């Protein structure tokens, strides 16, 4: 990518901006921070990032300890190119962003409420983190492939 070009801005939106959106933000930054500016926000932010989301990301080498739980309104006029919602409530509450060209909805279970029999809460976070990782790394790889110069 030409260093004078600005990177597309991707906003990952969830209701509380405490779990799924932060895991997706960290994973997408790790996979494609050279391609995108990545942010996350909530339609009704909880004001903190869930400690188990931070722990689950830390286990795969991403430090989210400095992430903050932000309201989506702070991004309305920031030139967001793509909005990706990761929960149904956020998808329904998502406003139209000025100039926004793309919007995706990839829903994931809410980790604090997703425990299966015999699974700890951290295990639920890990399972959903791995699902998010699969989807967002595929998105990054597809975008990267689509933006490569055609070979002759």
Which CATH code is given to the segment(s) 9-145?
A: 3.40.50.2300
86-110 pLDDT, tens per residue?
987 655 666 666 665 788 989 999 9
Using 50, 70 and 90 to split pLDDT, how confident is the model at 147? confident
Catalytic residues: 14, 87, 94
31-76 pLDDT, tens per residue?
999 999 999 999 889 999 999 999 999 999 999 999 999 998 899 8
Angle between helices 121-147 and 20-32 in degrees, nearest 10: 40
- What is the Cα–Cα distance from 49 to 16, expressed in whole angstroms? 9
Task: Please tell me the predicted confidence (pLDDT) of residue 151.
Answer: 61
Instruction: Return the H-helix or E-strand segment holding 54.
Output: helix 51-59
């Amino acid at each position: 990518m030409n260093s004078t070009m600005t990177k597309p801005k991707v906003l990952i939106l969830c209701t509380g901006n405490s779990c799924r959106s932060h895991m997706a933000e960290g994973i997408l930054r790790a996979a494609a921070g050279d391609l995108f500016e990545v942010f996350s926000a909530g339609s009704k932010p909880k004001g903190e990032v869930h400690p188990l989301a931070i722990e689950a990301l830390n286990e795969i080498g991403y430090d989210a300890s400095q992430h903050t739980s932000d309201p989506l309104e702070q991004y309305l006029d920031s030139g967001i190119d793509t909005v990706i919602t990761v929960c149904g409530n956020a998808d329904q509450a998502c406003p139209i962003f000025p100039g926004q060209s793309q919007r995706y909805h990839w829903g994931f279970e809410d980790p604090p409420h997703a425990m299966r029999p015999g699974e700890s809460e951290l295990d639920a976070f890990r399972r959903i983190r791995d699902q998010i990782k699969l989807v967002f790394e595929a998105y990054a790889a597809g975008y990267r492939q689509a933006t490569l110069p055609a070979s002759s």
